[in-house]
Amino acid sequence: MSEVRTRFAPSPTGYMHIGNLRTALYTYIIAKKYGGKFILRIEDTDQERYVEGAVDTIYRTLRAVGLNWDEGPDVGGDYGPYVQSERMGIFKKYAIELVEKGGAYYCFCDKDRLTELKAVQEAAGISPMYDRHCRNLSKEEIQAKLDAGTPYVIRQKIPLEGTTTFHDELFGDITVENSTLDDQILLKADGMPTYNFANVVDDHLMGITHVVRGNEYLASAPKYNLLYEAFGWEVPKYIHVAPIMKDKHNKLSKRNGDASFEDLVAKGYLSEAIINYIALLGWAPKGEREIFSLPELIEEFEIDGLSKSPAIFDPLKLRAINGEYIRALSPEKFAEYAEPYIRQVVRSDVDTAKIAALLQNRTEVFSEIPEQVDFIDEMPDYDLSLYENKKMKTNRETAVDALTRALPVLEAISESEWNFQVLHDRLFELIAEMGVKNGYVLWSLRVAISGKQFTPGGAFEIAEIIGRDETLKRIHRSLEMLAVSIA
């Protein structure tokens, strides 16, 4: 087999849809699995859709997830240029060559005629198709119009009869009647190619062996095959992948807020976790295992594990996978990622690494960190019913008892001794002395200094983090509130 060469050919639309990222991922994996090359080609010929900075988003995203290209606009290669708009001369040359080979023809129909044609066809209930008006112009007629400078497009000359079959690695052989295929435009009046033409020419010239793309292109594939045949070029292997859906009926779109890679990163998902999850959206590994690094994906991936049916994006599953990646981080790395999220709500001079240590096992998405640590800087207003806990057998009265007993014990601990171990030992001495369950003291204490039902870490950790003064101050305040409510 000749060297495998795959390409990712995004249009610069301004953001990376995760469906596109998944296409890039499968494309990359196939190249690497077979020791081949992964090529990046920017398809920017649709100037109306061009968005400033969009190419940088593509570079940034692919690099962030480790899909490094072997050839592309910024890294070069032997098959450039890799930006479609820089290849304009090439397309015109090949379009004219195709006319000479009998696979295409000049069309001089103007807008008015085409608009009218479309209206007539629609009124008659037939799907609009070019009526091949210019298909049989004589050589002389064509030359005369060209000489007169009449604007023209070049159209594909689809065989009038018979069928065309193409092969997809996933969907198998697909056959269509040629009579259903439109003589589509290959080269527009402004000399720009349509996607339908450019993708074939570029894939051929860049030596692409495997084309991976969304199955919205499946219906056009027969026309591409006819182009390859008319040129006498070898057809690449096609792998059309099914879309990613929000649910049974709706595609995942940017409006859902989950569809773009950058949105997910901003929500606190790790790029490794995103890649791992989207690999599973449409591809099933052989065993039960679901956590794969990029090199492991290359190892495990098989084209026949791809699914023909749409995949449903499951945010809970993504969370769970993200949680696994978070737990697998070293404490230092986790603290580094968590720091900006902690700092959104904690501005005081506390040790964020200590807070991070409490969060690692209970975080699935970084963006949920602020709400977990928002009590550290400032004690929230809280409902005193939090002291009523059936399991711990506590209520407001027991809270007053526990806090009143704990207060002198805590006050006796000096600033320099104030740490988890000392707090733990002294309070356990008190618990033993009182002959009560741990929760009797510790539940009330934790509520009194956090004002929350759930917190990362228990009373000792929180007391250590917020410090001696703040702990004592919060206990006094809570005792006052309890006194008022009981009286």
Could you give the CA distance from residue 213 to residue 41 in angstroms, rounded to a whole number? 13
By CB under 6 A, the residues from 268 to 307 that bind ligand GLU are none
* Residue 115 Cβ vs ligand GLU, minimum distance, rounded to whole Å: 27
Instruction: Please report how close the Cβ of residue 285 comes to ligand GLU at its closest, in angstroms.
Output: 24
H/E segment holding residue 286: none
Residues 303-322 that bind ligand GLU (CB under 6 A): none
Longest dimension (CA), the chain: 111
**241 contacts 306 by C-beta, under 8 angstroms:** yes
Please list, in sequence order, all residues whose beta carbon lies within 8 angstroms of the beta carbon of residue 241, skipping any fewer than 6 positions away. 22, 23, 26, 170, 212, 213, 214, 215, 282, 306
Half-sphere exposure of 465 (CA within 13 A, CB side): 29
Shortest approach of ligand GLU to residue 96 CB, angstroms? 23
Nearest to 466 by CA among 388, 387, 378: 378
The yes or no reply on residue 5 touching ligand GLU (CB under 6 A) is: no
Is 254 a known active-site residue? Answer: yes
Query: Rounded to the nearest whole angstrom, what is the least distance from the CB of residue 281 to ligand GLU in the complex?
Result: 17
Give which of 126, 136, 114, 217 is closest to 179, Cα–Cα.
Answer: 126
Query: Does position 45 bind ligand GLU by CB under 6 A?
Result: no
Beta strands 172-177 and 163-168: pairing type? antiparallel
What are the DSSP calls for 314-371, one per residue?
A: -HHHHHHHHHHHHHHS-HHHHHHHHHHHHTTT--SS--HHHHHHHHGGG-SSGGGHHH
Q: Which stretch binds ligand GLU (CB under 6 A): 6-14, 133-141, 315-323, 374-382?
A: 6-14
- Whose CA is closest to 183, among 125, 149, 133, 218? 133
Interface with ligand GLU by CB under 6 A: which range of 5-13, 290-298, 383-391, 453-461?
Answer: 5-13
Amino acid at 327: R
State the minimum distance, in angstroms, from the CB of residue 26 to ligand GLU. Answer: 11
- Spell out where 88-231 has E strands: 104-107, 153-156, 163-168, 172-177, 185-187, 210-214
Neighbours of 384 (CB within 10 A): 17
State in angstroms the smallest separation of the CB of 158 from ligand GLU: 20
HSE toward the beta carbon, residue 85, CA cutoff 13 A: 11
Closest to ligand GLU by CB, 268 or 282: 282
Q: How far apart are CA 203 and CA 207, in angstroms?
A: 6
Q: Which is nearer to ligand GLU, 10 or 72 (CB)?
A: 10
- The Cα–Cα gap between 291 and 355 comes to 27
Please identify which of the residues 33, 237, 254, 267 carries the catalytic annotation: 254
**Does residue 32 interact with ligand GLU by CB under 6 A?**
no
Told to check if 58 binds ligand GLU by CB under 6 A, we report no
**87 forms part of the interface with ligand GLU (CB under 6 A):** no
Q: Is 11 in the site for ligand GLU (CB under 6 A)?
A: yes
Binders of ligand GLU in range 185-244 (CB under 6 A):
199, 213
Q: Where does this chain touch ligand GLU (CB under 6 A) — which range of 8-16, 144-152, 168-176, 359-367?
A: 8-16
- Closest approach of ligand GLU to the CB of residue 219, in Å: 13
Q: In angstroms, what is the minimal distance from the CB of 17 to ligand GLU? A: 9
Piece of the chain touching ligand GLU by CB under 6 A; list 7-15, 109-117, 289-297, 367-375: 7-15
Binding residue (CB under 6 A) for ligand GLU from 9, 346, 386, 465: 9
445 within 8 A of 466, measured Cβ to Cβ: no
Closer Cβ to ligand GLU, 11 or 363, answer by number: 11
12 binds ligand GLU (CB under 6 A): no
**CB closer to ligand GLU, 194 vs 398:** 194
Pick 43 or 70: Cβ nearer ligand GLU: 43
How many residues contact ligand GLU, by CB under 6 A?
6
3-class state of residue 6 by DSSP: strand
Sign of the C-alpha dihedral computed for residues 430, 435, 439 and 441 taken in this order: negative
Please tell me whether residue 336 binds ligand GLU under the rule CB under 6 A: no
Tokens 């096992």 belong to residue? 361
**Region near ligand GLU per CB under 6 A, out of 9-17, 101-109, 163-171, 330-338:** 9-17
Interface contacts to ligand GLU, rule CB under 6 A? 9-11, 43, 199, 213
Give the residue numbers marked as catalytic.
Answer: 254
